[in-house]
Every structure is written in structure tokens, then in C-alpha cells.
Amino acid sequence: MANNIKNGTLFSLFWENSKINKRNILTFAKRLDEDARTAKNVPQIFYPTEDLFLSRPRDDLSRLMCERKSSRSFSDVALSEKQLGSLFYAFAQRSKSTRLIPSAGGKYPIEVYAFLFNVRSKLNKKVVYYNADNHSLSVVAESCDWQKEQEFFGLNLDGVPAVFFVFVAIPERTIDKYGERGGRFILIEVGHYAQNLALRLSLEKLGGVISGALRDDEVKRLLGLQNTNALITLGFACGNIKR
């Protein structure tokens, strides 16, 4: 198997076996279709008594959390650079050694890339990398086209997202210290990135939806990471919601 991860052979095997590609995409889509036809009731753990009813907070954070929802319908209104900065700030560095997101051992294995499809900026139609240390963007590729590349992103959307974030893991940073257990920490950390971004979207009155079905190898190629051990974890399409 290509790109085995040092000290994380089993995690590497899991990752390879869970990839989405040309061969298994139809089987994956069939599973999603079958699930969509089933009842949506989620089984709950049951205890015979409810011993304490808790008060609900009425603060700004609770409001943002309530407003967070998945949106798949995007308008053609472009994002401003100010809004772009607000969204990327979800992953910013807050001191010399820490970011706004917790990380096992301070290893920060997640790197943030984005496809800018509809932004009022000189970087529109670029693929960019986020520099957390100084809150800036670097161009990775000169152009991107949603119509040509959307099949790699694993989403069926109404309209074109303004930005499509991709969270990329550099697994050695965590696994070299924690071994196989580090694989869990990487996936947990990705969830923190997605939640931080979701809250920024709520604050900016924007919409977005997560994609967990990216075509790993194709997206790595678009990011210029095809000859590395980088792992494509999650995608997140964002933009102004179609009203």
C-alpha cells in the first residue's frame, strides 16, 4: 500500500479502505440513497428517571449555535474579503504556540486549503492555503472551476458555493507521538475545525454544508499534494444562501 504512515500502519489501512474513488462511488451513493428512504428517528439511550431539568442559556453563543444549520442552496452573491477573513479566522493562531482550536500535544496536524469560487478579491478563482501564524493566504493553484471539479467534492448543490474549504491532515505530526491512537485525535480535531467554521458562518449570516465524500486522490492532485502522505479529511462548502 502506498503512503504508509510511520507508527500508524493500521490507521493507514483504515484510511486507504475508506477512500472514495471512481470504483466505489456508485456503491457509496447507493448506501446514501437507501438511508434516505428509511425512518429518521434516532434511537436514544433510555434511563427510567430524569433527575434534573437544566436551564437553557440565552447568550450570544447559544443563539449562534441555534442558527447553525446545513445549507445546500447558494446564491450568486460574492463574499467580501472581510467575510473571507472572518471565516478563516476560525483557524487562526492566537499565540506563538497555540491556535483557536485544541490539538493533542499541540501538534496541529490539520492544514486548511480552500477553493475560492466567488469572492470579491484578486484571489477569486484561486486555490489557496491558509497561514495560521499571520492570518494570510498563499496561492496554491492559479484557477479553479466548480463546474469542472464539483464531482470530486462529493456534494449535490443548488448553485455554486463562494468558498469550498478542505481540511487536510498531516498524520505524522500526531501519529509519531501517539501511534495508532493518534488517528482518533486527528479525526476529533477535524471536528473542531468544522464546528469553528460553522459558528463563524452563523455569525456572518452565511450558509454551508460539510462534505465527507470527497474523492481523495483527485482532491490531493488539485491541491498539489499527490506525492505526499497528506490525508483529505473533510470539505465544507460555504456562501450566501439563496433566499
pLDDT computed for residue 2 by the predictor: 44
* 18 found inside a domain: yes
Which one, of 136, 53, 132, lies nearest residue 97 by Cα? 132
Whether residue 241 has pLDDT greater than 80: yes
Give the mean pLDDT of 190-200: 97
Structural domain harbouring 212: 9-35+72-239
Residue type for position 123? L
Task: Please work out, in degrees rounded to the nearest 5, the angle formed at the alpha carbon of residue 223 by the alpha carbons of 181 and 221.
Answer: 90
Q: Residue range 106-135: average pLDDT?
A: 97
Check if the beta carbon of residue 127 is closer than 8 Å to that of residue 144: yes
Reported as a pLDDT band with limits 50, 70 and 90, residue 223 is very high
On whether residue 43 sits in a domain, the answer given is: no
Backbone angles phi, psi at 63, to 5 degrees: -65, -45
Model confidence at 59: pLDDT above 70: yes
Mean pLDDT across 165-185: 95
In the predicted model, is pLDDT for residue 146 greater than 90?
yes
Residue 1 lies in a domain: no
Residue 172 lies in a domain: yes
Least confident stretch, 45-49, 51-55, 57-61, 219-223:
45-49
C-alpha cell at position 197: 467554521
**Residue 61 is assigned to a structural domain of this protein:** no
CATH code for the domain of 144: 3.40.109.10
* Residue 73 to residue 161: CA distance in whole angstroms: 8
Mean pLDDT of 141-148: 90
**Lowest-confidence region among 40-49, 141-150, 218-227:** 40-49
Ranking 18-22, 73-77, 99-103, 137-141 by mean pLDDT, the lowest is 18-22
Residue 243: how many CB atoms within 10 A of its CB? 6
Q: Judge whether 62 lies within some domain.
A: no
Q: How far apart are CA 71 and CA 147, in angstroms?
A: 19
Contact between 210 and 147 (Cβ < 8 Å): no
H-only helix segments in 70-144:
81-88
225, pLDDT greater than 90: yes
> Which cell goes with 112?
486548511
- Does the residue 28 lie in any domain? yes
Instruction: Give the pLDDT band of residue 36 (cuts 50, 70, 90).
Output: confident
Q: How far apart (Å, rounded) are the C-alpha atoms in residues 150 and 163?
A: 12
When divided into structural domains, the chain yields a total of 1
Q: Which one has a higher pLDDT value, 87 or 45?
A: 87
Distances (CA, A) of 180 to 22, 93, 124, 184, 190: 28, 27, 39, 8, 17
Residue 144: the pLDDT is 87
Is residue 109's pLDDT more than 70? Answer: yes
pLDDT at 1: 36
DSSP β-ladder status, 163-169 and 110-116: antiparallel
Q: Is residue 87 part of a domain?
A: yes
pLDDT of 3 reads 54
Q: pTM of this prediction?
A: 0.91
% of the chain at pLDDT higher than 70: 97
Q: What's the confidence (pLDDT) of residue 38? A: 80
